[in-house]
Amino acid sequence: MSKQKVVDSKYLFGEDKIIKIVHNGVEYVLRITKDDKLILTK
């Protein structure tokens, strides 16, 4: 079994609240809500 990669959200977002992720050519938006939760949308 391989180890899972762990990435801190602070590394991904920096000072931003929204980032775009491209997976298989499809763009997704990952955002931090006002309640400090993560939401991924297409």
Q: What is the reported pLDDT for 2?
A: 79
Residue-range domain boundaries for the chain: 15-41
pLDDT tens string for the chain (42 positions)?
679 999 999 999 999 999 999 999 999 999 999 999 999 999
Torsion of CA 29, 32, 37, 40, to 10 degrees: 0
The reported pTM is: 0.84
Half-sphere CA count of 21, side-chain side, radius 13 A: 12
Q: Residue 38 is encoded by which pair of tokens?
A: 């993560």
**Element holding 7 (H helix, E strand):** none
Decide if 21 contacts 27 (C-beta within 8 A). yes
